[in-house]
């Protein structure tokens, strides 16, 4: 009696969640002629991969993808390098500094970005960093740092302090103890934080919109947003194909870190 109802409800959810995705996929496989027809159908009559080739042929899109990749890798690596020592300190020595860092993580969620973007834009302009990828990397690091710090300190806390102390007792120096005992245990957490930072930067739109002005430095999300002009339906196919491809990196990385992110978010949510 109860089960069929539950299955019906679950089916409704699956349809709601899946239909835009299916439609995106379907559009990406359609020929321009079919796109122009007034009676859109779920299954392409004449499926083609031409849209993917077209998207690749657009010089701007490939270039933008490469720039996005560069920015995301640089932001992710630098974020973790900067956050790791601080995360260690937050987890091991709980003092005023750690509490302030935790406070900032929470505060950073509440402020309207516009309050930070305008002055940040002015700072970057003084440093001659507007319209450069380096400028965007700086911005992405700053905005990923709080959550990266939060994730990392959770992972450090999960490594028992006793292990570190035991290594010290066995004659290893403090640094050796950290390198040979803590680091291997921390590695999965570091990878998860790296991937999280990568996804944040790869997906990010608003800051890129403010910092980057000329097409030859634009990242992928900016290029995609520019892609839809008033040209009508002809370019929707390649657009759908490019959108799908732009999603693949974050989707793969997200699949890897999903569980870890959940526990991190839970810790934050409950304490907040």
Partner 1 sequence: MTVTATRPPKAAHARSRPRSRQGRETLVLMLPALVPVLLFSVGPLVYGMALAFTDARAGRKVTYSFVGLENFANLFQDPDFWSSIVVGLIWAVSVTVLTFLLGLGLALLLNEKLRLRGLARVLAVVPWAMPPVVIGLMWRLVYHADAGILNGILGTDIDWLADFTFVLPAIIVMGVWAGMPQTTVVLLAGLQNIPAELYEAGKIDGAATWQRFRNITLPQLKPVIVAITSLDFVWNFNQFSLVYVLTNGGPGGRTRLPMLFAYEQAFRYGFFGYAASLGVAIMIVVLGLLGVYLWRQMREASS
Applying the rule CB under 8 A, the residues between 217 and 236 that interact with partner 1 are: 220-221, 224-225, 227-228, 233, 236
Among 99, 173, 205, 215, binds partner 1 (CB under 8 A): 205
Q: How many chain residues are in contact with partner 1, going by CB under 8 A?
A: 96
What would the x/- binding string for partner 1 be over residues 38 to 77, using CB under 8 A? xxxxx-----------------------------------
**Footprint on residues 158-177 left by partner 1 (CB under 8 A):** none
Show contacts of 154-157: CB within 8 Å, 24+ apart.
Answer: 154/91, 154/189, 154/263, 154/264, 154/267, 155/87, 155/186, 155/188, 155/189, 155/190, 155/192, 155/193, 156/87, 156/88, 156/90, 156/91, 156/92, 156/182, 156/186, 156/189, 157/91
* 178 scored as a contact of partner 1 (CB under 8 A): no
Residues 96-155 that bind partner 1 (CB under 8 A): 97-98, 101, 104, 108-120, 122-123, 125, 138-139, 141-143, 145-146, 149
State in angstroms the smallest separation of the CB of 148 from partner 1: 9
Q: Considering the complex, state which of residue 88 and residue 167 has its C-beta at the smaller distance from partner 1.
A: 88
Instruction: Select from 83, 151, 177, 192 the one that contacts partner 1 (CB under 8 A).
Output: 83
């Amino acid at each position: 009696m109860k089960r069929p109802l539950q299955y019906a409800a679950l089916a409704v959810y699956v349809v709601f969640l899946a239909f835009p995705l299916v439609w995106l996929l379907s559009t990406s496989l359609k020929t321009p002629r079919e796109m122009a027809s007034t009676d859109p159908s779920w299954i392409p009559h004449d499926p083609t991969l031409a849209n993917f080739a077209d998207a690749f042929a657009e010089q701007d899109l490939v270039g933008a993808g490469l720039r996005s990749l560069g920015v995301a890798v640089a932001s992710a690596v630098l974020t973790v390098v900067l956050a790791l020592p601080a995360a260690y300190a937050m987890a091991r020595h709980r003092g005023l500094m750690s509490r302030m860092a935790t406070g900032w993580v929470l505060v950073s969620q509440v402020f309207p970005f516009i309050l930070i973007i305008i002055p940040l834009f002015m700072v970057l302009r003084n440093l001659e960093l507007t319209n450069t990828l380096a400028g965007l990397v700086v911005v992405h690091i700053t905005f990923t740092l709080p959550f990266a710090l939060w994730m990392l300190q959770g992972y450090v806390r999960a490594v028992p302090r006793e292990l570190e102390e035991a290594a010290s007792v066995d004659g290893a120096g403090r640094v050796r103890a950290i390198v040979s005992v803590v680091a291997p245990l921390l590695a999965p957490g570091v990878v998860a934080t790296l991937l999280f930072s990568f996804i944040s930067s790869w997906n990010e739109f608003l800051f890129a919109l403010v910092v980057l002005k000329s097409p030859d430095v634009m990242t992928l999300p900016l290029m995609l947003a520019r892609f839809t002009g008033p040209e009508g339906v002809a370019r929707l196919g390649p657009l759908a194909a490019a959108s799908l491809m732009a999603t693949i990196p974050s989707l793969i990385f997200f699949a890897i870190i999903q569980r870890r992110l959940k526990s991190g978010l839970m810790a934050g949510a409950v304490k907040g």
